[in-house]
Amino acid sequence: MEDKPQQKIGQQLVATGKVSSRDIERALAAQEEMGGYLGQVLVSLGLISELDLLKALGQQLDKRLIGSDDYPEEAIKLDGLAEEFLLNNSVVPVESREGLVVFAASVPQDPFINKALKLALGRPVSIEFGLESDITAALLKYRESDEDDELEEGGESFVGDDEFIEHLRDLASEAPVIRVVNQIIHQALDLGASDIHIEPFDDGLQLRYRIDGVLQDMPDPPSPDLSAAIASRIKLLAGLNIAERRLPQDGRIMTRVKGHELDLRVSTTPTVHGESIVMRVLDRQSIQLSLQSMGFSEDTLKVYLDLLAKPHGVLLVTGPTGSGKTTTLYASLASMDAAAAKIITVEDPVEYQLRGINQIQVQSQIDLTFAAALRSILRQDPDIIMIGEMRDTETAQIGVQSALTGHLVLSTLHTNTAAGAITRLEDMGVERYLITSSVNGVLAQRLVRTLCKDCREPVELSAQAKCEAGLDRFMPAGQDTIYHSKGCPSCKQTGYRGRTAIHELFVMDSQMHRAILDGADATRLHQEARQQGMITLYEDGLRKVAEGSTSLEEVLRVTQDQSDDDQAAELRAVDASGAGS
C-alpha cells in the first residue's frame, strides 16, 4: 500500500469527477496485486487518462507538466549520465543551465530517481512531469544522436544487422509505443472504421480512418518522433521483417479488442519520409452474412436468390474495391445448404471462415495461384465454387469451363456496371458463345452511407425537382419529402451513420444472348437490360432516397458516372424512337 500523499490523489480525482469511489476501490485492490503507484494503476486499468493523472499530481506535488513543445530539438548530453539509466527510468533532460538541470519524468516523485541524478551530476536537479509518449520521443532523439556521433567517429554504423534488429525490437516493446498502437486500434473499433492509414510526411505523422467509405483525419496524431517505433511495433505484431524498410510487405494481426475478434490486414510501403502503413480492419463480430440485411430491394433479392438456386452457371458480383463484393459472396454462400452441397472457395485472402465450407488461401510465392487451385479443386468433386476474383485469362476460362461441366461458380470482377462484366470477360479471352452458355447473371454493387437518424433534415421537393432527379417514379403520390444530412455529435458531424448497398442485377436471357452474339458493346447491353426492366444502381439509390435511408447527394457521389450514363442512354432511346416514328 502507498503512503498518505498517494492516497490523497485518489480523493482528489474523486472530488474533480475524474473517477468514482468504486473506481478507487477497484484500483486499490489491483494495486495490492500489481504494486506500484495508485495513479499508475488507475491509468493501467483505463479508468483515467495519463494526462488527467499528471495534471492532478502536478497540483498536489506543485510540479509542472512539460508540454511536447518544451522538449529541446536536439538531445541534451550530460557527462556522467548513462543512457541506460534514462531508458530504464523513463526520464530525459529537457533543459541545462548554470547550477540546475531540468528533467522530465513519468514518475518525478520517485525519490530514487532524484537522488541518483543528483549523485551522477553533482549539481541540483529539478524533475517535472512528462507524458510517457513525449519522453519516449525525446529518448529516441537521444539514441539517434548517439548513433550519429559514433558514425562520425568511426565512419561505420555502431551496430551490426543483428544488433540493429534488436534495437528496433526494443523500440517496439516500450510501454508508450505499445499504448499508442493499442489506442490506434481501439479507436478504429470505436469509430467503426474499415481501414487505418498511418502516413509519415515531412511536417509530421498523419493518422486517418476510413469511416463509412470516407477517409477522415484524426486531429491529434501520434508524435512524428514515434513514427519508426510505431511502424516497428505494427510490423512485429504482423510477423513482418522489421529490419526491412525498403520494400513493401504484407502481414496479418489477429487480436481481441473489447470482446471483438479483430483481423487486421497490414500493408507497409516505403515512402520518402518513412513507411506508410494501412491496416484493413475486419471485425468478425459485426459482419452481417445475411442477404436480407444487406440493402437488397425486394424484387432484386428475389431474382438474385433464383440465380443462386441454379445448379450450374457463372454468377458474378462487380464493383470497385471496397464496394462489399466479397461480403455479398460470403452472404450468398451462407444462404446455401453446406451440408447438402460440397462448397469450395479460392480466395486471396480468406477474410472470414465459414462453417462447413472448404476455403483455400492463394499463396503465389509457392505457385498456388487462383488458376492452379481451381485445377486442383475440380478433382475434389465440388458442387459450388467461389473464386475470390477473376484476375486473369486462365482463371476466367477455367471458371467458365467449370460452369459448363455442371458447377455453380461465384466470383467477382472489377467493372463499373453489370453489363460491363460481359465485355470484360471477352477482353480476358472468353469466347462469346461460351459467355452466353455459362453466365447466368451479373450483380453490380455499391455502398452508400445511411443518414443519421438523430439529425437528418427533411427537404420539400417541387414536382419539377422530383421529375428532374428521377424520384417521381419511386415516391408515392403525395410524398414530396426526402432527407439530407446535417451533422451532430452522435455521427461525428458527418450526417451519416453506417452504410447500405445499392444493386443492379443483369440477368441473361435469350434476348441478351442474341445481343452478345451480335457483338453488342457494354453500352448497348446496358440499354437492352434497361428496356427489359433492369433497375440501375442510380435508380436503386433513388429508391433508398425515397424511403429516407440516404440522401440524393450521397447517391450522386457514389453513382455519378452511372447516372450520367443512364441519362445519355435515355437520350439515345428517345432519339431512336423519334427516328423510327
The position carrying cell 428532374 is: 468
Percentage of the chain beyond pLDDT 70 is 87
Tell me the CATH number at 94: 3.30.300.160
439 and 547 together in one domain: yes
Of 283, 314, 342, at which residue does a domain stop?
Answer: 283
Residues 182 and 44 in one domain: no
Residue 302: per-residue pLDDT: 95
Q: Do 230 and 362 lie in a common domain?
A: no
Residue 453: closest CA among 411, 478, 490 = 490
Residue 466, domain member (yes or no):
no
The chain-wide mean pLDDT, for the chain, equals 83
**Which pLDDT tens digit goes with each residue over 361-398?**
888 778 888 888 888 888 899 999 999 899 889 899 99
Residue with cell 435515355: 570
Asked if the model's pLDDT at residue 9 lies above 90, the reply is no
Q: Using CA atoms, how far apart are residues 324 and 95, in angstroms rounded to an integer?
A: 54
Say which CATH number the domain at 526 has: 3.40.50.300
Residues 403, 363, single domain; the answer is: yes
Strand partners, 564: none
Length of the chain as a residue count: 581
Among the residue ranges 129-138, 320-329, 344-353, 370-379, the one predicted with the least confidence is: 129-138
Can you tell me whether residue 413 is helix, strand or coil? strand
Residue 140 lies in a domain: no
Residue that is last in its domain, among 130, 157, 180: 130
pLDDT at 560 over 60: yes
| 32/178 same-domain check | no
Strands 358-361 and 343-347: parallel
Condensed to tens digits (0 to 9), the pLDDT of residues 395-423 reads 999 999 999 999 999 999 988 889 999 99
Percentage of the chain surpassing pLDDT 90? 34
Phi, psi for residue 275 in degrees, rounded to 5: -95, 125
pLDDT digits (tens, 9 = 90+) for 501-520: 999 999 999 999 999 999 99
Instruction: Answer whether residue 14 is part of any domain.
Output: yes
Task: Note the pLDDT tens digit of each residue in 46-71.
Answer: 677 777 888 888 888 888 888 878 88
pLDDT of residue 540: 95
Instruction: Answer yes or no: do 81 and 37 share one domain.
Output: no
CATH number at residue 214: 3.30.450.90
Q: Which of 133, 115, 125, 48 is nearest to 94 (CA)?
A: 125
Kindly state the DSSP code that residue 520 receives in the 8-state scheme: -
Nine-digit cell string for 399: 471458371
> In the listed set 239, 255, 283, which residue is the last one of a domain according to the structure?
283
> In this predicted model, which residue has the larger pLDDT, 564 or 43?
43
pLDDT at 581 over 60: no
Domain hosting 341: range is 291-451+501-576
Kindly state whether residue 68 falls inside one of the protein's structural domains. yes
User: Is the per-residue pLDDT at 481 higher than 80?
Assistant: yes
Q: Is the pLDDT of residue 256 over 50?
A: yes
Which residues are paired to 197 by β-bridges?
208, 278
| CA 334 to mean position of chain CA atoms | 24
My answer on whether 180 and 266 are in the same domain is yes
Q: Would residue 405 count as lying in a domain?
A: yes
Whether 216 maps to a domain, the answer reads: yes
pLDDT bracket for residue 458 (50, 70, 90): very high
Q: How many domains does the chain have?
A: 4
Q: Is 363 in the same domain as 297?
A: yes
Are 300 and 344 within one domain?
Answer: yes
- Let me know if residue 198 belongs to a domain: yes
Same domain, 95 and 28: no
Based on the fold, state whether residues 314 and 370 are members of the same structural domain.
Answer: yes
Average pLDDT over residues 293-311: 93
pLDDT value at position 288? 66
Which of 67 and 149 is assigned the larger pLDDT?
67
Same domain? For 81 and 204 the reply is: no
Q: Say how many CA atoms lie within 13 Å of 301 toward its Cβ.
A: 15
Condensed to tens digits (0 to 9), the pLDDT of residues 562-576 reads 544 554 444 344 334
- pLDDT tens digit sequence for 70-85: 888 888 888 878 777 8
Q: In angstroms, rounded to a whole number, what is the distance separating the alpha carbons of residues 451 and 458? A: 11
